[in-house]
Amino acid sequence: MKFYTALYTSKIAYIILKTFKKSGTAFAGFVALKICPDFLSHTRKYIKENIINITGTNGKTTTSGLIAHILETNSNSVIHNLKGANMLTGIVNAFVLKLFPFKKFDYAVIETDEAYLTKVYDFIKTDTLVVTNLFRDQLDRYGELDHTQKIIQEAINKNKNLKLILNADDPMVASFKTGAEPIFYGIENIEYHCRYDDKSNAPTEVVNCKCHAPLNYTKRFYAQQGHYYCENCKFERPKCKYAAKVIIYNDYFEIQIQHDSNTDTFRVNLTGLYNAYNALAAISCAFEQGLKASEIQNALDSYHSVFGRTETRMINEHKTLIQLIKNPAGASEVLKTVDLDSNIIIAINDDYADGRDISWLWDSDFEQLKNANKMVVTSGVRAYDMATRLKYAGIPQNRIKIEPDIKKAIAYVSEITPKEEKITILPSYTVLLKISKY
Catalytic residues: 357
- Whether 393 and 297 have beta carbons less than 8 Å apart is answered as no
Alpha carbon distances (Å) from 221 to 83, 162, 170: 29, 29, 10
Distances (CA, A) of 289 to 67, 68, 86, 98: 10, 12, 23, 22
Cβ of 434: how many Cβ atoms within 10 Å? 17
- Angle value at C-alpha 120, between 114 and 125, nearest 5 degrees: 120
CA dist 253 and 244 (Å) reads 12
CA-based R_g, the chain, Å? 22
Q: Please check whether residue 132 is in contact with residue 61, taking contact to mean a CB–CB distance below 8 angstroms.
A: no
Say if residues 204 and 190 touch (Cβ distance below 8 Å): no
Report the distance separating Cα 275 and Cα 139, nearest Å: 24
Dihedral over alpha carbons 184, 190, 337, 195 (to 10 degrees):
-170
Q: Collapse the DSSP code of 347 into the 3-class scheme (helix H, G, I; strand E, B; otherwise coil) and give the result.
A: strand
Residue type, 432: L
Query: What is the end-to-end Cα distance of the chain in Å, rounded?
Result: 40
